[in-house]
Structure 1
Amino acid sequence: MSVNAFRAALVVEGEYIAAWQYQMLERLLASGCVHLVMVVFRQPVALTLLQRLNAALLNALHYVDGKLFKCPVAAQQPTSFLHLLGDVGCCDAGGKRYHTLLEQQTLDVVIDLSTQTPLAELVDVAPYGVWRHFFGQAFECSDRYTGIREYANQQAEILSGLERWMAGQTAPEYIFAATTSTDAASINRGIERTLWKMADFIPQRLQELLNLGENTFSQNVKVRMQPLALAPPEKTAHFGVAAILQVLWRYPNNFLNKLFISLFRAEQWILLSKATGALTEAGALEQFRKWIPPRDRFWADPFVVEYSGEQYVFFEELIYARGIGHLACVRLNADGSHSDPVTILEKPYHLSYPFVFQHQGQYYMIPETAGNHTVEVYRCEDFPHRWVFEKNLMTGVEAYDATLMEYEGRWWLFASMRQDQRCSPSEALYLFHADDPLSTKWQPHPQNPVVASAARARPAGRIFNAAGQWYRPSQNCAGTYGRGLNINRIQQLDVNTYREQLVSHYLPDGQHDMNGMHTLGVSSPVSVADAVHVHRRLGRVDRWVVKLNRFFSQPLVISS
């Protein structure tokens, strides 16, 4: 079936929907891929006394968290959507008008925002199925417990996604999944990031279906969902008073831990160098040589470039008193030492991630300029110190760590992006392609975001080839920014499908005085990475405090 826009029905439980759902509906209608022809109202399921008690306790928990961390859960605010409908036909499920509209209207897809099992007659008449969001590892279609379970169990990520109910199937098909980083201190922060990000799921995936057709769309679903092996949930008990008290117990522990770190510990991003070895040893910190900068600054995001037989390292330098980063460069010496850093590019906005590449005999650099809402490219006039602005590859975007790759005659641009300021910039990888690296007409990949994981999305350095295979370094930002580093093998890259597989990962946890890393510059004979160096003011006492904190922070087993 070929369509210019899907004829869709919307299922709700009243004239008010959550604010994040309202934003989703706005974006969907603005995209032009959907023509809304019918709205179905269902009666909400009456809550039992126990469920009402749990709801009151959860509301109190959200209120306390919002006051403590100045973060109310705005995404769940009830919002009327009726003014968006125009002359769309509305009806109550099961009523006479409902059946009349079903007979009169041809439906392609149903968007179900209710928390109940989909209506069987809607599943039967919609060839592209009934689409619903799911939240958390229990895959529930209610956002009441999103983020709370993960916080209590000390999970680094909150899972969310889309399911599709199709005629003839006894269980939903999971067609998209994403993860959001939990917040170490606040429940509400993780909830907000999760729900606002979910506003993009249905608009993006319906656009993919419209662009590629059902066959290619279904193949892409298999590619992205098969490694997760999601299954329908088992019924579990509801939260209770004891569970809420257990969650509240985490607050003082988090506060005391944060106070201890601020008083007795200092963390600083530094650079590390090592002789390039096997791919599986790329993040082995004990093999690296430390480059520790002065205590008034940090160094991060290294890129290694060979020029006239010598190696240079380009990186971000941030002086704490200035507050924004600039770009610097050093020359590597034969004995593994390096020259003094020289500032090569400075702007009134933050610069980092100096991706240097060569094209037609000329060196160019794409620094991260998300603070200026651009993807800028600079041309080298005098290597390695003089760089001049060439052009903007993109404008009006918030793109982080743009990374280019030339593959099978096309140029591919990977970048971490977000569509909403309330979301994290590190959890969705977007892919674009063009026939020239200096093009200003980059085509978005239909699978965008091609990776939607807090633990694997954000770029972490130049994509490199080893033994005929391409590997993409990525950051692990699950739980905290710069937690660790991954190496992903690119399995498929074309204009319709992107697929990669995690082959190794590194999560420095304070051993070797390192507590995180997020960029790897692979080169030969020397590779360079960055890491968080921990300055412990209390020496051995600090290590015992860490062990004690881990004991009191054991995950709490709480069901949904």
Structure 2
Amino acid sequence: MSANLFRIVLIVDGEYISAWQSLMLERLQASGGGVLVAVIFRQPLASGIEKKINFFLFRVLHFLDGKIFKAPVNAQKPVSFLDQLGDVFFCAANSRRYQKLLKEQTLDVAIDLTGQEPLSAVIASVRYGVWRYFHGYPAAMMDCYVGIREYANREDEIISGVERSLPSQSVPERIFYATTSTDMVSINRGIESTLWKMADFIPQRLSELAQVGESLFFQNASARLRQFPFAQQYASSPPGLLMTLRVLWRYLSNFIRKLYNSLFRNEQWILLTSEAGDASSLCMLGHFRKLIPSRDRFWADPFVVEHEGEQYVFFEELVYANGVGHLACIRLNADGSYSDPVTILEKPYHLSYPFIFKYQGQYYLIPETAENHTIEVYRCEAFPYRWVFEKNLMENVEAYDSTLLEHAGRWWMFVSMRNHQSCSPSEALYLFYADNPLSTQWHAHPQNPVVARASHARPGGGIFEEGGRLYRPSQNCAGVYGRGLNINLIRQLDTSTYREETVSRYVPDGANDMNGVHTLGLGEKISVSDAVHIHRRLGMLDRWVVKLSSFFNYAGHRQILVVVAIPLAWLWFHI
């Protein structure tokens, strides 16, 4: 299919749409995936008194959250989209012009932003159906309530995606899923991240449809959706007063937890070494040795290189007083000891994730340089300590944790990216390919982002082969950055399709005095990972506090507590 083939009709309920939807239109027009030919205006649904009260409550919540955490909800700001349009056809739903549009125009896709039930006449008139955004579980269409239930219920991720309605289907068909991390502190930050991320969904999917064609597009969509075990449910009513009270309770509990941690805990990224295992056991970290730096710094993002019989670990070192990471290296000895760290690369901007690969007999290093908006590559002049700048592989990008793989005659780059500052840099995995790893002409994969889940997207170490299969470590950043680690089996990798399946995962959640892990470096005999080490000032008492907190944070336990407390209170006051 060629670009600009798709003729698109937009359905709105007025001149004003949300700011994130306006950004979607800008990116749609810039993507070359289609051309907007018409706009249909629908009459907004009348709001009952209950809906108005609920809407007012959450407006107050958004305002308070924005003031307390300096996080206003800009994505929901109403903006006029009329000045973005060129020569398009305007009509009101069910008018004569509307009937003329559906009868005389060839339409491929309808994008419905109203949140109402799709127009049956439009469904019957467009080739690829009516596309709508949804969010949450159960799903909802209007962005004014996004993220409320997830925050109140302490869920780690906010689901969002795109569905389409066709004449032959009684329920809409999901064609894309994504998740964003629920911010543990601010409800508004989770909402902002979700909505601005959603702005890319339809432009990207239309671009994919244009590149790979209808048959392969829907095959790929079906394969991606199998990773999401969610039913096709819809919210029957918006959240109300009870949900507001639960949000306020979480604000209070978050404050208490933050105060407790500041008084009685200290967390520090460290390194762990253990014997290398197979793909199904790499995430278990059953037997390991902790390499703990001095308390004025942390170590993270380890990569193992075996050179001339010696084992070296390259990693990020960040001294708290400086606030900017640099790259360092240690040599591991046979008895488990290690040499003093040596700084190998330092810049005015932040460096981390020292991915090292070998090409034509030469070592190269790609650090994470997102702060400089580049993907840089360095060549080794004297292993392991002297590295010189070679070139920029990409410029004007915000890219994190670039990871290269040579496969099937091509070089592939897996990298986490974000397209808006309010979005997390850990929730969208982009894939590119080129003829050689030093190329500056990297081709974007049509399925980008090939993984759009907060719990699975961001690279977590080098891709490795076992038993003829490729495995990709990835970070679990759902709820909090660096929460855990996944090992994903790559099922298919070519220029039109990417598929993977998670085979093992590890989330420490306090086990072994660790509260996070996010990068795995593999050698032939040893594996090195990083972890958040918990320094407990209260010792065993702190562990009991954590257990009690986990018990009462579980919704079922809270309900049992209430059921038991009410009769006990009645007996107390009546004896």
Q: TM-score, normalised by structure 1?
A: 0.97
2:327 and 2:352 in contact (8 A); partners too: yes
Alpha-carbon deviation of 1:231?
Answer: 3.4
Look up the match of 2:177. Answer: 177
In structure 1, C-alpha distance between the alignment counterparts of 2:434 and 2:418, rounded to whole Å: 21
> Any idea what SS the aligned residue of 2:425 has?
coil
Alpha-carbon deviation of 1:2?
Answer: 6.4
Moved more, 377-386 or 247-256: 247-256
Alpha-carbon deviation of 1:233?
Answer: 1.2
2:486 and 2:504 in contact (8 A); partners too: yes
Tell me the amino acid that sits aligned with residue 409 of structure 2. G
Alpha-carbon deviation of 1:103?
Answer: 2.4
Look up the match of 2:438. Answer: 438
Structure 2 matches for 1:115-514, cutoff 5 A? 115-234=115-234, 236-514=236-514
In structure 2, C-alpha distance between the alignment counterparts of 1:208 and 1:426, rounded to whole Å: 22
- The 1:33–1:238 alpha-carbon spacing in structure 2 relative to 1, beyond 3 Å, is closer
CA offsets 1:143-200 (integer angstroms, 9 cap, x no match): 1221110011110000000001123222111010100000111111100000000000
Tell me the amino acid that sits aligned with residue 472 of structure 1. R
1:416 and 1:458 in contact (8 A); partners too: yes
CA offsets 1:404-447 (integer angstroms, 9 cap, x no match): 00111110000000011110000000000001010000000000
Moved more, 542-551 or 233-242: 233-242
CA offsets 1:74-119 (integer angstroms, 9 cap, x no match): 1111111011123311110001111122223211111111111111
1:268 and 1:532 in contact (8 A); partners too: yes
CA offsets 1:216-268 (integer angstroms, 9 cap, x no match): 11111111012324433155344232221122111111001001111211100
- The 1:537–1:235 alpha-carbon spacing in structure 2 relative to 1, beyond 3 Å, is closer
> Any idea what SS the aligned residue of 1:549 has?
helix
In structure 1, C-alpha distance between the alignment counterparts of 2:5 and 2:287, rounded to whole Å: 56
In structure 2, C-alpha distance between the alignment counterparts of 1:115 and 1:75, rounded to whole Å: 16
> Any idea what SS the aligned residue of 1:287 has?
coil
- The 1:511–1:2 alpha-carbon spacing in structure 2 relative to 1, beyond 3 Å, is closer
Moved more, 505-514 or 25-34: 25-34
Alpha-carbon deviation of 1:451?
Answer: 0.3
- The 1:103–1:185 alpha-carbon spacing in structure 2 relative to 1, beyond 3 Å, is same
- The 1:428–1:209 alpha-carbon spacing in structure 2 relative to 1, beyond 3 Å, is same
Alpha-carbon deviation of 1:552?
Answer: 3.7
Tell me the amino acid that sits aligned with residue 441 of structure 1. Q
1:154 and 1:555 in contact (8 A); partners too: no
> Any idea what SS the aligned residue of 1:150 has?
helix
1:66 and 1:188 in contact (8 A); partners too: yes
Moved more, 62-71 or 251-260: 62-71
Look up the match of 2:5. Answer: 5
> Any idea what SS the aligned residue of 1:543 has?
helix
Alpha-carbon deviation of 1:283?
Answer: 2.5
Alpha-carbon deviation of 1:3?
Answer: 6.4
Tell me the amino acid that sits aligned with residue 146 of structure 2. T
Moved more, 81-90 or 436-445: 81-90
In structure 2, C-alpha distance between the alignment counterparts of 1:74 and 1:300, rounded to whole Å: 34
- The 1:285–1:230 alpha-carbon spacing in structure 2 relative to 1, beyond 3 Å, is closer
1:2 and 1:213 in contact (8 A); partners too: no
In structure 2, C-alpha distance between the alignment counterparts of 1:121 and 1:231, rounded to whole Å: 27
In structure 2, C-alpha distance between the alignment counterparts of 1:529 and 1:33, rounded to whole Å: 41
1:40 and 1:92 in contact (8 A); partners too: yes
2:279 and 2:471 in contact (8 A); partners too: no
In structure 1, C-alpha distance between the alignment counterparts of 2:511 and 2:204, rounded to whole Å: 41
Structure 1 gap segments, 5+ residues each: none
1:430 and 1:448 in contact (8 A); partners too: yes
CA offsets 1:466-520 (integer angstroms, 9 cap, x no match): 1111100000000000100000000000000000000000001112111100000
Moved more, 42-51 or 443-452: 42-51
In structure 2, C-alpha distance between the alignment counterparts of 1:163 and 1:134, rounded to whole Å: 7
| Percent sequence identity over aligned pairs | 63
In structure 2, C-alpha distance between the alignment counterparts of 1:547 and 1:184, rounded to whole Å: 19
- The 1:402–1:235 alpha-carbon spacing in structure 2 relative to 1, beyond 3 Å, is closer
Tell me the amino acid that sits aligned with residue 256 of structure 1. I
> Any idea what SS the aligned residue of 2:227 has?
helix
Q: TM-score, normalised by structure 2?
A: 0.95
1:13 and 1:42 in contact (8 A); partners too: yes
Structure 2 gap segments, 5+ residues each: 560-575
Look up the match of 1:101. Answer: 101
> Any idea what SS the aligned residue of 1:281 has?
coil
The answer to whether structure 1 residue 523 and structure 2 residue 527 are counterparts is no
1:411 and 1:434 in contact (8 A); partners too: yes
Tell me the amino acid that sits aligned with residue 539 of structure 2. G
2:139 and 2:234 in contact (8 A); partners too: no
